[in-house]
Chain A
């Protein structure tokens, strides 16, 4: 019985690990493409690519960070806030994501204050 369980787990792992790796690889390709698009100021295309990347691999912190920047560029502040928070939840130690989020927060908070005034 334990042997059967072990074989089953091993089989699952052999299927799941490559599948996960494939998803990450695909997501990476999307992120890469999005960066190129953003560098050419095609922010809508870039955002679309990063959205796809986060769908392919929801644990990809860098993709969430980029997606947040894409939303920020389009003035979608609530979406950007959520995406930054997701990125920080996945990689709380990233100083670069934290720096982006702090800069975003500064603008977002100021806008909010002005709206409330």
Chain B
């Protein structure tokens, strides 16, 4: 056997080996991600309202309620209750006031908006006088600028009697509430970037350069609280954080940034209630 024959046989067997090794098939796959909450016991969902703070440019409470209701309507099997949005800041403010004298535990909020609508998925009468908002409450609501400001209001989520009463009025739905912080942010720092130049001989040269950059944008920090309307107990809560920054020269409306950030958060939010599918591909081998 000549050396040429040996080489031919070797290369043929190598080719065969390679062919055998590369027999693969790419297949699309949908990986199911189980819901974090078992909502089988609920047929209805009430997005009650949120304690919001940060910028005044966006009414984060109203916008979040609207957005979540529309998402729940289209992406889950739950019936969404169209009710008046609760003025949670004021209710929580009242709770904080009544809690001010040295009492043990959390004082109940007690009073719900005077004319809570009947349990239906129809929009309630628009004349619902939410809660008498005092000037002091208003000032307090306006004062929510940081997460720390928000903390004093968060006790309302532990007031089981309040949520149970609300649940009874809407036929024991799953109640979704929480807090939303939407705050402007500005950063200024040196950033390294690669700049392309051409030398005298026309060769492409990449030079790392440090540039001082100022950016502005927003941070969105929602905390979603899921409450059992039958018992008033918190079933699950999760806090998220997303931020977006733009060049200083770019003028982006706050509402546009809010929706941009909420778009990123919605899959995670829905993942708490329903099975989500992640699309991808995998390689099957022979």
Contacts and interface: CB of A to CB of B under 8 A. Distances in A.
A28 B285 CA distance: 10
B135 interface: no
B213 interface: no
Nearest to A91: B285
A75 B286 contact: no
Interface in A52-90: 61-62, 65-66, 69, 72-75
A4 interface: no
Interface stretch (B6-14, B22-30, B54-62): B22-30
A111 B32 CA distance: 10
Contact of A39 (B27, B33, B286): B27
B278 A107 contact: yes
A38 interface: yes
Contacts of B33: 75, 107, 111
Contacts of B34: 75, 111
Given A35-B25, A75-B32, A107-B33, A114 B282 contact: no
B271 A65 contact: no
Given A38-B27, A96-B24, A32 B280 contact: no
Contacts of A111: 33-34
B161 interface: no
Given A96-B24, A114-B271, A117-B238, A107 B285 contact: no
B138 interface: no
Is the contact region of chain A dominated by helix, strand, or loop, or is it mixed?
A: helix
A107 B29 CA distance: 12
Contacts of A115: 36
Nearest to B25: A35
Contact of A72 (B24, B29, B286): B29
Nearest to A108: B31
Contacts of A32: 286
Interface in B1-55: 24-25, 27, 29-34, 36
Nearest to A87: B285
B191 interface: no
B143 interface: no
Interface in B227-286: 238-239, 268, 271, 278, 280, 282-286
Nearest to A96: B283
Contacts of B271: 114
B160 to A, nearest CB: 22
Interface in A84-107: 94, 96-97, 99-100, 103-104, 107
A31 B31 contact: no
Nearest to A60: B285
Interface of B: 24-25, 27, 29-34, 36, 238-239, 268, 271, 278, 280, 282-286
10 contacts: A32-B286, A35-B25, A39-B25, A66-B285, A73-B31, A75-B32, A100-B283, A107-B33, A107-B280, A111-B34
Interface of A: 28, 31-32, 35, 38-39, 61-62, 65-66, 69, 72-75, 94, 96-97, 99-100, 103-104, 107, 111, 114-115, 117
